[in-house]
Chain A
């Protein structure tokens, strides 16, 4: 090992190896820039790949299979009792992660992106100090792209610790066991995804949520399909309820609840706290740059994703909501293109979001509630999946496709879908919003039949009063 202080000079230093960071690094390298990627973790992929979106999808896939297998009993599939091998499930999850991480490492190598494992602390606008095992002590750069991500917020006065029964999504996705009882605190997308997965895997799950609905902020007519299903799968959902205190002991966690709940003190084998995430912008030496960190910890950026410091760009969770990997990836590419001198900007009309429960909920653009808040004159076209032949064959009639249009121009402002496969269907909605499509554009596009996707064409027809498979009145 080389002793002493070694300074590496690079054109672009990317800080963070998650989706925002690696997308930025790869795009910058593809545009001919020399790139150094500084990643605090041993492996590339960030939260999304290592302990977020990807591992949770492995669990959710399993729970969907179980659900479908049970459903199929009524369709003529006969089999004995099945068993869940948690070790095998965990191994499959790790295998999926390994394959993806190895893929990223190969992609970085092939692009000559130099990856250094270290924690970066800013010393000046154009330099970071590295903390870690690396021979390199400093990296001097022309431009930095900060993609430091976010961290789960722990309950007040607590911290998440390894092996604790009080877990963040990270702990829950490590899949220590299938607890007999699980309390999920927070019914945002993280809480309902993992809560429903654990419920199907065999846990008796209780969900508590401060607000008066699960998935606060999502249109209620979409949420109701999921709520109906969740209530069947979980032990209890307590809305308008808060956790007052939590006490961990050897064989469980005793929780005091306050709100719409009869039994105020309850004990659970494990607790999943999913009350949100906060940006990783502290202890990074940002005060040694001109980067402006806002009160809530988010970093202020312009549409080029440039911070107040001309040398430093920032992308992903650390610049603000929605904290979604696809937003980070998009922003990372924009920042790289701007650095390469291209006329790029983060100028999008919508960022789709997906809740990977069963049924899934996905939306993009303006929701009906937001449109109402803005006082906009909108029209809505809805197609209930009970009328979809494909949904019926799949046993997936718990669903609905809804499109929000500008009443005057008939332009698509937003799309909301609840149901099986909403994750894929929302892409058509996002394209429609980005392209400035009008109702006729969707209605006059041939959708394959029978598919779930054709409900998007029919929802547009419903708005125009012309849907084939339901009776709709012309608006």
Chain B
């Protein structure tokens, strides 16, 4: 009997992944527990061990394929009464009986059954389906003996568009949402693209891996969350002095004392006073889920694209601890060593592009969080104030532009102003901030 290896459950709500690398070839002998492939899920690469000992007789996927839990990935020879299994070219045509049964079971669960052969439909209906980007196989037929009509296709396209507009996941916890929803398309089908090569050379590049995940996550956030931005500047003059004083000591500890570290602490102070910024919205149940933990995501620019590793329990860690942990996490993330665990469970995100410059930007919230803090470049600016004699006086101050984008369904502009107030106050008076250490 041949055995098949199907993609196992990869953990919390992860139902699909992209094949990054296949570590075995047809004919290889593998031991149970040997890593056989690398799958990327939700931006993290996971090595998958073999459940069997035996010879690899067939590989059904290629790097770049999206696979779903339960999909057949690799075939193994097995047991004593082994039947010769011919290596297959292309997708398996005659699936073994078990697999066929599984397909049937799945079909029973999910509404549209898998249909074989060409779908009966008139040529005009087939062209219409192409125009609307509909796979005829998915369309429930109304005609005799399973014939799909033009009306069936239109109705299906409308329903699909509505479903994609509908905001909420059902029973799933909010964290699962990003992997559950289809490509988020706000209103109906995307109009088809023109043939750009009519106007000059083009090159087509596959949307893969981190880029694909980012595209999906951003489209989701932008289409689901009514974003509002609130901006201010914090006077970092004192904090910068403090940072310079302690920088070397922290480096000796193996960390980096960056403005982000202080911002993390300041954010936690603000989140504690304004818990609805440390929350997620559950529209289905009409509830706001307030989180009693402070896990802060930090946006990291890597070769592969944007990744957001999460630093846990920021409220319970010292500046030194955070300096070391953040530095280590950023290094590991850049090296592609971040685990799925590292990339999940955040309650609020910080994105600091100060090192690259800029006077401000509008960050997009990391769905399903409620708010995000953006930091641009801090600069020395002439600040006008009054001296003790009540006269105007210009003084150079080290000013940091701060942007908070928030979900207006959960908090209001006044809340954001107050949240920003706490944040500013914490960053401007290091003594106070350090008390929260």
A interface, CB within 8 angstroms of B? 11, 142-143, 310-311, 339-341, 343-345, 347-349, 406, 409-411, 434-436, 438, 440-441
Closest to B141 in A: A436
Task: Tell me the minimal C-beta distance from B21 to chain A in angstroms.
Answer: 26
Query: In the complex, A425→B192 CA distance in Å?
Result: 39
Q: Are B198 and A411 in contact (CB under 8 A)?
A: no
Q: Are B122 and A341 in contact (CB under 8 A)?
A: no
Return the contact of A438 from the options B118, B144, B198 (Cβ within 8 A): B144
Q: Does B145 contact A (CB under 8 A)?
A: yes
Chain B residue numbers with a CB within 8 Å of A349 are 118
Q: Are A411 and B120 in contact (CB under 8 A)?
A: yes
Q: Are B195 and A435 in contact (CB under 8 A)?
A: no
- Beyond A142-B198, A411-B145, whether A343 also contacts B122 by CB under 8 A is no
Query: In the complex, A11→B199 CA distance in Å?
Result: 10
Closest to A436 in B: B120
Closest to A337 in B: B127
Q: Are A343 and B131 in contact (CB under 8 A)?
A: yes
Q: Are A339 and B195 in contact (CB under 8 A)?
A: yes
Closest to B203 in A: A310
Return the contact of B197 from the options A310, A348, A434, A441 (Cβ within 8 A): A310
Return the contact of A341 from the options B126, B130, B147, B198 (Cβ within 8 A): B198
Task: Tell me the minimal C-beta distance from A313 to chain B in angstroms.
Answer: 12
- Beyond A409-B146, A436-B147, A440-B144, whether A343 also contacts B123 by CB under 8 A is no
Task: Tell me the minimal C-beta distance from A447 to chain B in angstroms.
Answer: 20
Task: Tell me the minimal C-beta distance from B221 to chain A in angstroms.
Answer: 30
Closest to B145 in A: A409
Chain B residue numbers with a CB within 8 Å of A441 are 144
Q: Are B130 and A345 in contact (CB under 8 A)?
A: yes
- Beyond A343-B192, A436-B120, A436-B121, whether A11 also contacts B145 by CB under 8 A is no
Query: In the complex, A310→B118 CA distance in Å?
Result: 27
Return the contact of B130 from the options A142, A143, A311, A343 (Cβ within 8 A): A343
Task: Tell me the minimal C-beta distance from B288 to chain A in angstroms.
Answer: 44
Query: In the complex, A440→B122 CA distance in Å?
Result: 16
Chain A residue numbers with a CB within 8 Å of B49 are none
Closest to B121 in A: A436
Return the contact of B123 from the options A142, A143, A434, A440 (Cβ within 8 A): A434
Query: In the complex, A440→B192 CA distance in Å?
Result: 38
Chain B 307-326: CB-based contact to A (< 8 A → 1; otherwise 0): 00000000000000000000
Count of inter-chain pairs, beta carbons less than 8 A: 46
Q: Does B87 contact A (CB under 8 A)?
A: no
Chain A residue numbers with a CB within 8 Å of B143 are 436
Q: Does B194 contact A (CB under 8 A)?
A: yes
Query: In the complex, A340→B195 CA distance in Å?
Result: 8
Task: Tell me the minimal C-beta distance from A80 to chain B in angstroms.
Answer: 53
Q: Pull 25 A–B residue pairs with CB atoms less than 8 Å apart, ordered by A.
A: A311-B197, A343-B130, A343-B131, A343-B192, A344-B127, A344-B130, A347-B123, A348-B123, A349-B118, A406-B145, A409-B145, A409-B146, A410-B145, A411-B120, A434-B122, A434-B123, A436-B120, A436-B121, A436-B122, A436-B145, A436-B147, A438-B145, A438-B147, A440-B144, A441-B144
Closest to A339 in B: B195
Chain B residue numbers with a CB within 8 Å of A343 are 127, 130-131, 192
Chain B residue numbers with a CB within 8 Å of A310 are 197
Task: Tell me the minimal C-beta distance from A291 to chain B in angstroms.
Answer: 16
Chain B 119-152: CB-based contact to A (< 8 A → 1; otherwise 0): 0111100110011000000000001111100000
Query: In the complex, A343→B128 CA distance in Å?
Result: 9
Query: In the complex, A347→B197 CA distance in Å?
Result: 24
- Beyond A142-B198, A345-B130, whether A435 also contacts B144 by CB under 8 A is no
Query: In the complex, A2→B330 CA distance in Å?
Result: 68
Task: Tell me the minimal C-beta distance from A341 to chain B in angstroms.
Answer: 5
B interface, CB within 8 angstroms of A? 118, 120-123, 126-127, 130-131, 143-147, 192, 194-195, 197-198
Closest to A345 in B: B130
Chain A residue numbers with a CB within 8 Å of B146 are 409
Query: In the complex, A473→B123 CA distance in Å?
Result: 33
Return the contact of B195 from the options A341, A406, A434 (Cβ within 8 A): A341
Query: In the complex, A448→B177 CA distance in Å?
Result: 61
Chain B residue numbers with a CB within 8 Å of A435 are 122-123
Chain A residue numbers with a CB within 8 Å of B145 are 406, 409-411, 436, 438
Query: In the complex, A435→B121 CA distance in Å?
Result: 6
Closest to B194 in A: A341
Chain A residue numbers with a CB within 8 Å of B118 are 349
Task: Tell me the minimal C-beta distance from B427 to chain A in angstroms.
Answer: 54
- Beyond A434-B123, A435-B122, A436-B122, whether A11 also contacts B147 by CB under 8 A is no
Closest to B143 in A: A436
Query: In the complex, A138→B122 CA distance in Å?
Result: 43
Query: In the complex, A348→B124 CA distance in Å?
Result: 11
Task: Tell me the minimal C-beta distance from B130 to chain A in angstroms.
Answer: 4
Query: In the complex, A132→B123 CA distance in Å?
Result: 42
Q: Besides the contacts A409-B146, A436-B147, what 19 more A-B pairs have beta carbons closer than 8 Å?
A: A11-B198, A142-B198, A339-B195, A341-B195, A343-B130, A343-B131, A343-B192, A345-B130, A347-B126, A348-B123, A406-B145, A411-B120, A411-B145, A434-B122, A435-B123, A436-B120, A436-B145, A438-B144, A438-B147
Chain A residue numbers with a CB within 8 Å of B123 are 347-348, 434-435
Query: In the complex, A129→B119 CA distance in Å?
Result: 44
Chain A residue numbers with a CB within 8 Å of B131 are 343
Query: In the complex, A440→B143 CA distance in Å?
Result: 13
Query: In the complex, A406→B146 CA distance in Å?
Result: 12
Task: Tell me the minimal C-beta distance from A67 to chain B in angstroms.
Answer: 37
Query: In the complex, A348→B127 CA distance in Å?
Result: 11
Chain B residue numbers with a CB within 8 Å of A348 are 123
Query: In the complex, A435→B123 CA distance in Å?
Result: 7
Chain A residue numbers with a CB within 8 Å of B192 are 341, 343
Query: In the complex, A344→B128 CA distance in Å?
Result: 10
Query: In the complex, A348→B121 CA distance in Å?
Result: 11
Task: Tell me the minimal C-beta distance from B39 to chain A in angstroms.
Answer: 29
Chain A residue numbers with a CB within 8 Å of B126 are 347
- Beyond A344-B127, A410-B145, whether A142 also contacts B122 by CB under 8 A is no
Q: Which of B121, B145, B192, B194 has the most CB of A within 10 A?
A: B145
Query: In the complex, A406→B145 CA distance in Å?
Result: 10
Chain B residue numbers with a CB within 8 Å of A345 are 130
Query: In the complex, A406→B121 CA distance in Å?
Result: 15
Chain B residue numbers with a CB within 8 Å of A410 are 145
Chain B residue numbers with a CB within 8 Å of A438 are 144-145, 147
Query: In the complex, A348→B131 CA distance in Å?
Result: 16
Chain A residue numbers with a CB within 8 Å of B127 are 343-344
Query: In the complex, A347→B125 CA distance in Å?
Result: 12
Query: In the complex, A311→B202 CA distance in Å?
Result: 11
Closest to B204 in A: A310
Closest to A440 in B: B144
Query: In the complex, A441→B145 CA distance in Å?
Result: 12
Chain B residue numbers with a CB within 8 Å of A344 are 127, 130
Task: Tell me the minimal C-beta distance from A310 to chain B in angstroms.
Answer: 7
Query: In the complex, A111→B197 CA distance in Å?
Result: 24
Chain B residue numbers with a CB within 8 Å of A409 are 120, 145-146
Query: In the complex, A349→B121 CA distance in Å?
Result: 10
Closest to A347 in B: B126
Chain A residue numbers with a CB within 8 Å of B198 are 11, 142, 341
Task: Tell me the minimal C-beta distance from B127 to chain A in angstroms.
Answer: 7
Query: In the complex, A461→B217 CA distance in Å?
Result: 57
Q: Which of B120, B131, B147, B198 has the most CB of A within 10 A?
A: B120
Task: Tell me the minimal C-beta distance from A24 to chain B in angstroms.
Answer: 16
